[in-house]
Amino acid sequence: MVSEPAGYVLNPDLNITTDTDLFEKYWHQAKDLNDASRIEILKKAFSLYRGPLYMSEKSATWLMDESFRLAGIYASVVSELLEALYRTRDYAGVRDYATKAIQMDPMNLQAHYWLTASLAKSRNRGLAKQALAKAKEMLGEEDYADVLYQLENQNIKLG
């Protein structure tokens, strides 16, 4: 660590890589890859995220900003990973990662959508209905309506 006028920072002369650096690196790397390579890189990014940064009442504003920024990147990683898995018809992979994403963030509407869609596509209508009912419990009214709209838009019927 070195002291600068704005505060303490990692010494730029040292070659230090943090999990946050790797997380962002993987997310950026995945942008222009084919689905198979993209999925592998996004899985690496997914595995590095462990939830919001711990913040006490005395946390600095930059820490709150950083936590929200990383949570936004994680939401993108989840959405991009689930979409790529779905496109490759890896419905078991979608279920696995969507379930983990929902455990990390129960309000992740994209994870609820992809979970329900993957169950419906793999002909598990009963489980798809259960997943949709769980989404209704966990999500706000507007987000749940968005999940229903996306399912309808993709012609996924559960009735």
- Binned at pLDDT 50, 70 and 90, residue 54 comes out as low
The pLDDT of residue 51: 81
Tell whether the model's pLDDT for residue 86 goes beyond 80. yes
Contact 45, 30 (CB under 8 A): yes
The pLDDT of residue 67: 84
Strand partners, 60: none
The pLDDT of residue 62: 66
Q: How far apart are CA 22 and CA 18, in angstroms?
A: 6
The pLDDT of residue 89: 96
Q: How far apart are CA 146 and CA 152, in angstroms?
A: 10
Tell whether the model's pLDDT for residue 58 goes beyond 60. no
3-class DSSP assignment, residue 33: coil
The pLDDT of residue 60: 65
3-class DSSP assignment, residue 27: helix
The pLDDT of residue 23: 93
- Give the residue among 137, 44, 123 at the shortest CA–CA distance from 91: 123
Q: Tokens for 153?
A: 């838009």
Mean pLDDT score, 32-57? 87
